[in-house]
């Protein structure tokens, strides 16, 4: 089965990103590789082409193995049909460690390149740590300029077609853009509306990908308040859709791409069934009136020992 997911051109090189992707952050990380592999393979079968990974998720190797299976089974014809994202973990967010970290990611994926490589969080850690929860005393400020220079080198070498960031505020993006030769093509954020960030990124030509748009219930960073929203449930009921479909369709209508993660085969297919219908202006207005909350507080990285002592310092705004 081919993919009919719309794509959007991002960056200056003409690369395209599918507007709905499949997340692989299954917590606890690395606990169920067989289930993850089966789910990713089914996702490829039903049409997902964008797969989001990270060094810390322990899913890169699983994706690499699954690509081999998908090619053998004819679900895809070549690796080039896929859009693979991975992320630089904080302990490798040092100028001299970025390129080796990406080479390890490519080795795990059994691929010559990633389509998108992101700085996972706007801070660094002592090298060598890949544990969650992180040790607060190991957290360090990110050297934006030197780490981004190493990211640019990854793109110039052709090892990453696009580079970007994740969990950056408008202010942190401004800091990065002040010295960047190649601006970030993508900002990945736990999107629930985030009008200020969307307007800023649109002005700067940065595409936003929303992770955990359904709330990531059951993870340390997730909540259930999106899926429990009565307003969203009412709209879903009136349209004969699931609450998840309403959320993903709303994200899509904002010109933002969404990463959804479900290993339930029925829901995986439902989450792709959002392109043949639309939300009415009245429904969009109802959604815009839902009280705002930050989708992820980043409390993992906030303490008196951290570069960020409060949520306000991390996100540069009230949350």
- Catalogue the active-site residues: 57
Q: How far apart are the first and last CA of the chain?
A: 42
Separation in Å, CA 196 to CA 193, 202, 252: 9, 10, 17
Q: How far apart are CA 88 and CA 83, in angstroms?
A: 17
Place of tokens 């009412």: 234
Q: Are 35 and 67 in contact (CB under 8 A)?
A: no
Question: CA triplet 56, 257, 208: central angle to 5 degrees?
Answer: 75
* CB contact burial 47-56 (16+ within 10 A = b; e otherwise): bbbbbbbbbb
Place of tokens 């289930």: 35
Residue 49 CA from chain centroid, whole number: 14
Q: How far apart are CA 170 and CA 174, in angstroms?
A: 6
Among 243, 295, 233, 231, residue whose Cα is nearest residue 274: 243
Tokens standing for 75? 């679900």
Read off the DSSP letter of residue 306.
Answer: S
Place of tokens 């389509």: 115
120 has binding-site annotation: yes
202: left (phi over 0), alpha (psi -120 to 50) or beta: alpha
Annotated binding residues: 120
Annotated binding residues for substrate: 120
């Amino acid at each position: 089965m081919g993919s009919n997911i719309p794509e959007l051109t991002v960056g200056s090189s003409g690369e395209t990103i599918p507007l709905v992707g499949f997340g692989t952050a299954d917590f606890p990380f690395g606990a169920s590789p067989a289930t993850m592999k089966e789910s990713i393979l089914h996702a490829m079968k039903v049409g997902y082409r964008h797969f989001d990974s990270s060094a810390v998720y322990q899913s890169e190797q699983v994706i690499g193995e699954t690509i081999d299976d998908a090619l053998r089974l004819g679900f895809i014809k070549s690796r080039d049909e896929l859009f693979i994202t991975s992320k630089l973990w904080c302990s490798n967010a040092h100028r001299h460690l970025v390129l080796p970290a990406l080479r390890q990611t490519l080795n795990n994926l059994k691929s010559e390149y990633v389509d998108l490589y992101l700085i996972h969080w706007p801070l660094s850690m002592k090298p060598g740590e890949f544990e969650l929860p992180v040790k607060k005393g190991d957290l360090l400020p990110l050297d934006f300029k030197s780490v981004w220079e190493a990211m640019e080198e990854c793109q110039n070498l052709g090892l990453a077609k696009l580079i970007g960031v994740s969990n950056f505020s408008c202010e942190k993006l401004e800091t990065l853009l002040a010295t960047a030769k190649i601006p970030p093509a993508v900002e990945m954020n736990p999107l629930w509306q985030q009008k200020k960030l969307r307007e800023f990124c649109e002005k700067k030509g940065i595409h936003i990908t929303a992770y955990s748009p359904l709330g990531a219930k059951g993870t340390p960073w997730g909540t259930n308040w999106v899926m429990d929203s009565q307003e969203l449930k009412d709209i879903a009921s009136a349209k004969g859709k699931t609450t998840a479909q309403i959320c993903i369709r709303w994200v899509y209508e904002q010109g933002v791409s969404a990463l959804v993660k479900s290993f339930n085969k029925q829901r995986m297919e439902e989450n792709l069934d959002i392109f043949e219908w639309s939300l009415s202006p009245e429904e969009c207005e109802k959604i815009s009136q839902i009280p705002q909350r930050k989708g992820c507080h980043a409390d993992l990285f906030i303490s008196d020992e951290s570069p960020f002592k409060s949520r306000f310092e991390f996100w540069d705004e009230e949350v």
